[in-house]
Amino acid sequence: MPEFPSTESKHLELAQALTKRERLRAEGKVLVFTNGCFDLLHEGHVRYLEEARAEGDVLWVAINSDASVRRLKGPGRPVRAQARREELLSRLECVDAVLIFEEEHVTPLLLKLSPDLYAKGGDYNLGTIDPGLREALEKSCIQVRFLSQVPGISTTLLLEKLSPEELQRLNHSGAVATCPAAS
């Protein structure tokens, strides 16, 4: 069985990220930053991440924590636990680092890291991103790129195509992050 490289080296905590960000700035490297739930990684995500990476020297991806995804998407989400989502993203060659954030919106992390460029998928535009994020991007002069979208592919559409039995199998495989029982 082939050995896969460790994904731990791509995980960044905030303090590490801030230190690395300063080093990248000193080296004159362009940091591209993006974020999302990446609940069920699909070809649309991969193409968008590859396109984002081509916009600079380094691509960092911030993913919503499980609790953050639940607040944004509802009690049935995320489909995959944050550790699995982080691992899948870390295995992509185009992704240089993965961070996890607890807030519903990435704005505080984005402002701390101050990337050269913020990239979002083509399913977003300035009118559809969080208003607080939009305002922060405008004030901080961080460049924004809305990248292409693969038509007809989204996590929501994929979930709609899965039968209850398939979702149950995912749940039993440990791939699904389950909500804690109501107290």
Predicted TM-score (pTM) of this structure: 0.84
Mean predicted confidence (pLDDT) in 146-168? 72
In a domain, 183, yes or no: no
**How many structural domains comprise the chain?**
1
In a domain, 28, yes or no: yes
In a domain, 1, yes or no: no
Q: In the sheet that 31-36 helps form, which strands lie side by side, from edge to edge?
A: 97-101, 58-64, 31-36, 117-120, 143-146
Mean predicted confidence (pLDDT) in 73-85? 88
Query: What's the pLDDT at 143?
Result: 94
**pLDDT digit string (tens) for 86-123?**
999 999 999 999 999 999 899 999 999 999 999 998 88
In a domain, 182, yes or no: no
Domain of 150, CATH number, reads 3.40.50.620
In a domain, 68, yes or no: yes
In a domain, 88, yes or no: yes
Query: 74 is in which domain, residue-wise?
Result: 8-172
In a domain, 180, yes or no: no
**Rounded Cα gap, residues 27 and 88, in angstroms:** 28
In a domain, 178, yes or no: no
Minimum mean pLDDT range among 52-61, 139-148, 151-160: 151-160
**pLDDT digit string (tens) for 14-33?**
999 999 999 999 999 999 99
